[in-house]
Structure 1
């Protein structure tokens, strides 16, 4: 298998549609394990906010993708900002917040944070390698994902807990 095929497969696996499925399954499992629904839905809420902003901007700005003859995979929607990057970073930062705030206790939280951020960065880099995004698309998408996770966490922290 060629490098481009491996990167294309990874990029597909990291697409927002598949990440939504994984995140909601994880949230369901968390609620089944008696994690509060509010806390279990923090990561999905971050992803939803990031994708809503990304999709809205994509269709308002309507930036074309790099030339189709250069792309290693075909994609059809507008380019700016990168949905893959915003989704991956929203999830990575939301999980990092949970781990570092000790809301979800894991062994070696910094190791998991590094793994999550490297994974999100690899997703963003795959979009550049496949030549389906400009660098500014990926940076904007990552920024939106990071901001979404932080904004949702700030809202969650300010909201009084009902028991």
Structure 2
């Protein structure tokens, strides 16, 4: 009985620390997002934003990106990973995978959570209505508003939520951290690609990361409440 009690106490302690850490991160990132949004609306970040964009271009010709030509091609490929087409395909495949594993509640939760986050992203872009950067030439086609970055926010919402949900059903301890790690790396790369391609200010991407992270943290809390403790833990 004593070893069982010890392990139970240890699990509760670890679980509680994870909850409090996630809550702290969500609170800090929420505060950062509102502060950043205020600075953006007041125009306080323009010098920083334009300075970074110009730093990533040829000093003699701002239309030319800095670095070798293969880097630009790589950034175009990376940025596609945060597009609606790729994300929709990915979410569909994951939902089908969850359904085949008979994780129907998790599949439904993932679908509703991600679609809700996408809807919020569109509403925020329309409400804030920040124009796209004009200081440098866009290296890919864009049509909507700039803040927050849709690619940064949607990739954070999608990849972080999927990473957390797949981690919940993974039974191998060492692999539970693989999905969230991949999600973070992809989210960071996609956001950076938007700045390099000149279609977003750095603060657009920071805002997208922040909003997406808060949504993903909220989804994680909701999953704990609605789906319960993952089996085997």
TM-score by length of 2: 0.61
Corresponding residue for residue 150 of structure 1: 217
Q: Distance in 2 between matches of 1:158 and 1:41?
A: 15
Instruction: Rate the CA distance shift 1:109–1:158 in 2: closer, same or farther, 3 A.
Output: closer
**Are 1:99 and 1:105, in contact at CA under 8 Å, matched by a contact in 2?**
no
* Partner-residue secondary structure (3-state), 1:159: helix
Q: Distance in 2 between matches of 1:68 and 1:54?
A: 24
Match of 2:171 among 105, 116, 119: 105
**Are 1:20 and 1:47, in contact at CA under 8 Å, matched by a contact in 2?**
no
Choose 1 or 2 for highest CA Rg. 2
Q: Is 1:70 matched up with 2:137?
A: yes
Q: Is 1:46 matched up with 2:90?
A: no
Q: Distance in 1 between matches of 2:127 and 2:201?
A: 17
Q: Distance in 2 between matches of 1:140 and 1:61?
A: 12
Match of 2:162 among 89, 92, 95: 95
Corresponding residue for residue 123 of structure 2: 56
Number of residue pairs aligned between Structure 1 and Structure 2: 159
1:72-122 deviation per Cα after TM superposition (whole angstroms, max 9, x unaligned): 11211100111111121112322343355x443344322332222111100
**Are 2:106 and 2:227, in contact at CA under 8 Å, matched by a contact in 1?**
no
Match of 1:27 among 95, 104, 116: 95
**Are 1:82 and 1:140, in contact at CA under 8 Å, matched by a contact in 2?**
yes
**Where in structure 1 do 4 or more consecutive aligned residues deviate above 4 Å?**
none
The CA RMSD measured in Å over matched residues stands at 2.3
Q: Once structures 1 and 2 are overlaid, which stretch shifts more, 45-54 or 58-67?
A: 45-54
Unpaired stretches in structure 2, ≥5 consecutive residues:
1-68, 229-233
Q: Distance in 2 between matches of 1:28 and 1:103?
A: 15
* Partner-residue secondary structure (3-state), 2:86: helix
Corresponding residue for residue 205 of structure 2: 138
Unpaired stretches in structure 1, ≥5 consecutive residues:
none
Specify which structure has the bigger relative contact order, considering alpha-carbon pairs within 8 angstroms and separated by 6 or more residues: 1
